[in-house]
Amino acid sequence: ELCSTESTYVQALRTLVEHYMPAVASAGADAAFRDNDVKTVFGCVPVLLNVNSELLAQLQARVQRMHSDTCVG
């Protein structure tokens, strides 16, 4: 459950970074956001993607090492 939720979150962050952020940044003068607004709204998203991608990788590695009788918490 935890890996699945984290994977979905990482995928959503990746979509923001790879698709939405470039589209908003390249909209130029016609954009609803000014450059400063884009930084305010999306500024920490790449950092979140990096941190959560690493967390997901560590969670997946841990799950691979778990035995069927292992409990979390």
The per-residue pLDDT for range 14-40, each reduced to its tens digit, is: 999 999 888 887 876 666 777 777 788
Extract the tokens encoding 56.
């997901």
- pLDDT over 70 (residue 71): no
* 51 closest CA partner among 17, 19, 25, 23: 17
37-72 per-residue burial string, b: 16 or more CB within 10 A, e: under 16: eeeeebeebeeebeebbeebeebeeeeeeeeeeeee
- What global pTM score does this model have? 0.79
Distances (CA, A) of 26 to 17, 41, 47, 48: 13, 15, 21, 22
